[in-house]
A and B are shown apart, each in its own frame.
Chain A
């Protein structure tokens, strides 16, 4: 099946530990995005990548890092520098020629830092 996979669905970490969230897609889409969702707030853009080996900071990139070594994969690392890492994290993809920036979303990972 074509789609976007995020694993795990629930993730628990101790404060001060780095953690990497996985996002894999087999849609052959060029662009990939990471968003963060907090209760009562809209989704906010963390990082995005339009092509392999290139990525751009979004609105709330501080405390996060990404890599894009393969077209299919765009992992997000939540570092210990992120002050409030507990949130729901969504990965999305977009086709290269999407005129209106239609994005397809993965199922999300809920990260809880204890």
Chain B
């Protein structure tokens, strides 16, 4: 079974700072997912990666398959980016995702 580790668990930063959240996993995967969970609890998918890098607005996600590691970056962070960011991996089958514990990000004005 895959083990997914995220770091840091908690991160507080000032508005405008560059943010990096890391994710590592133990077993080969078909894809890695970055998800965002706001205080109300709903989860939205930010990225799904199988290789390389993806960018959406101020968010950038990278993955290194050989090193079994992914990073999520937020440029020019804003208080509305405050949320829990969750890394999850899928093994290619139809079973569920395996999730990290999440990174609780707070951006202060």
Contacts and interface: CB of A to CB of B under 8 A. Distances in A.
Contacts of A40: 101
B94 A50 contact: yes
B92 interface: yes
B65 to A, nearest CB: 13
A100 B43 contact: no
Contacts of B43: 90, 105, 108
Q: Which of B33, B42, B43 has the most CB of A within 10 A?
A: B43
Interface stretch (B12-20, B44-52, B69-77): B44-52
B101 A101 contact: no
Given A100-B31, A107-B40, A107-B42, A41 B101 contact: yes
Given A31-B94, A50-B94, A104 B45 contact: yes
Contact of B102 (A35, A42, A88, A107): A42
A102 B48 contact: yes
Given A100-B31, A100-B50, A42 B90 contact: no
B99 interface: yes
A92 B37 CA distance: 14
Interface in A48-66: 48, 50, 56, 58
Contacts of B97: 43, 45, 101, 103
Interface residues of B, number: 28
A33 to B, nearest CB: 5
A71 interface: no
B92 A43 contact: no
A108 B35 CA distance: 15
Given A56-B95, A100-B90, A108 B42 contact: yes
Interface of B: 4, 30-31, 33, 35, 40-45, 48, 50, 86, 88, 90-102
Given A42-B102, A101-B97, A106-B42, 18 more contacts: A31-B94, A40-B101, A41-B101, A42-B4, A42-B100, A42-B101, A45-B97, A50-B94, A99-B30, A99-B92, A100-B30, A100-B50, A101-B92, A102-B33, A103-B45, A103-B97, A107-B42, A108-B43
